[in-house]
Copies of this chain bind each other. A is one copy, B any other.
C-alpha cells in the first residue's frame, strides 16, 4: 500500500507519519511506500521499514497535484492548510491553498480515471461552525463559518462529498477538535493559548491566558487526532453514506477546568506560571467558537478519543512529549 501525506511537516502530519513508520501497516494492509509532502521538506526518518520519500513544494501550483498522485497512492491524508489566523490575514493565500489546492487535488484524482479511486482523508475543522449555536452542537447543525478558514474547510467538505458521491474517490472529512496539548512552538492559530497555558508551565515557563476562565472549548490530544486519521483511512465508508463530513469526538472543558486539571496532575506551582492578561482581540475571536459537540455519529462509526478526562490530556502530553517529566 502506498500512502501519501500532505502537510507531513505539520504537527499532526508528523505524528501521523511517525505512527505509520512505527506500525508498518495501515489497518490490515502492509505499507510499502510513504510519500511525505509539505511546503518545506518533511524530515525523513533515519530508518524506515519501507520506501519513504520526502517531497517539498507548493501543492496548489498548476501540475503539482498531478505529480503527487502520479504514484497512485492508495490512501491520501490531506492535512495541508493555511491556519485560521493566517488565512484571515492573507485572503489570497488562504483561498489559494485551502480552497484551490484542495480542489486541484480532487480534480487530479478525478481525471486519472480507469478505476483509480483512492481513500482521501481530509482534515476539516470545527471552524465550519459560527456563533450563535446551541451549548452542545448536534451533528445536523448548519455550517456558518465566521472566518475565511472555516469557509474554505466547509467548501472542501462539500467538494469531497460530491466527488465521493460521483465515485471519483472514497473520501471522508473529519473535523478535528482543537488539538491540546499542541507541542512545540505556537503557530498562527488564535486557539494557541489553550495549549500554551499548559505546555509552557509544564516546561517551567510562564504563559499568558488572554481570556477568562469560563471560556469553554472542545479538545482532543494529538494522539487521538492520529487515531481519528487512522480510523478514517481504514474504516468501511459504505457505512457513512453520502454525508462525508464528521465532527470528531472530543472533551469539552472550560479554561478553569483545564487549569484545575493542571493543578491535579502537576501541582499548584506549575499552574501558578499562568499569567492572566485579557486580550480583547482574542476574546472577540474565541467568543464565536463552539463550546461543546454531540459527535454522536462519529462515535457510532467507531471514532474514539484516547483520553477520558482533561487530566488524561495533560498526562498524555507529559508521556508523549516530555519523556514522562515536567518542571514542578
- With A140-B142, A142-B143 known, 16 other A-B pairs at CB within 8 A are A130-B242, A140-B141, A141-B142, A143-B143, A143-B158, A144-B161, A144-B242, A145-B161, A148-B162, A148-B166, A151-B158, A151-B161, A151-B162, A154-B158, A155-B158, A155-B159
Query: Does A91 sit within 8 A of B, measured CB to CB?
Result: yes
Query: Does A14 sit within 8 A of B, measured CB to CB?
Result: no
Which residues of the other chain, B, contact A158 by a CB distance below 8 angstroms? 143, 145, 151, 154-155, 158
Which residues of the other chain, B, contact A165 by a CB distance below 8 angstroms? 146
Using a CB–CB distance below 8 Å, which chain A residues touch chain B?
91, 130, 140-146, 148, 151, 154-155, 158-159, 161-162, 165-166, 242-243
Which residues of the other chain, B, contact A166 by a CB distance below 8 angstroms? 91, 148
Instruction: Answer whether A162 and B142 are a contact pair too, CB < 8 Å, given A155-B155, A242-B130.
Output: no
Which residues of the other chain, B, contact A151 by a CB distance below 8 angstroms? 158-159, 161-162
**B146, B154, B162: the one within 8 Å of A242 (CB):** B146
In the complex, what distance in Å separates the CA atom of A242 from the CA atom of B132?
10
Which residues of the other chain, B, contact A140 by a CB distance below 8 angstroms? 141-142
Counting chain B CB atoms within 10 Å of each CB, the highest count among A142, A145, A242 belongs to A142
Q: Does the CB pair A144–B91 fall under 8 Å?
A: no
> How many identical chains are in the complex?
2
Which residues of the other chain, B, contact A154 by a CB distance below 8 angstroms? 158
The 6 closest A-B pairs by CB, nearest first: A151-B162, A142-B142, A144-B243, A140-B142, A155-B155, A151-B158
Distance from A247 Cβ to chain B, minimum over Cβ atoms (Å) = 11
Which partner residue on chain B sits nearest A133 by CB separation? B140
Which residues of the other chain, B, contact A162 by a CB distance below 8 angstroms? 145, 148, 151
Distance from A254 Cβ to chain B, minimum over Cβ atoms (Å) = 25
Which partner residue on chain B sits nearest A146 by CB separation? B242
Distance from A171 Cβ to chain B, minimum over Cβ atoms (Å) = 13
Counting chain B CB atoms within 10 Å of each CB, the highest count among A143, A148, A158, A159 belongs to A158
In the complex, what distance in Å separates the CA atom of A242 from the CA atom of B129?
12
In the complex, what distance in Å separates the CA atom of A311 from the CA atom of B148?
45
Which partner residue on chain B sits nearest A134 by CB separation? B140
Which residues of the other chain, B, contact A155 by a CB distance below 8 angstroms? 155, 158-159
Which partner residue on chain B sits nearest A165 by CB separation? B146
In the complex, what distance in Å separates the CA atom of A248 from the CA atom of B231?
40
Which residues of the other chain, B, contact A243 by a CB distance below 8 angstroms? 130, 144
In the complex, what distance in Å separates the CA atom of A166 from the CA atom of B150?
13
Which residues of the other chain, B, contact A141 by a CB distance below 8 angstroms? 140, 142
Which residues of the other chain, B, contact A91 by a CB distance below 8 angstroms? 166
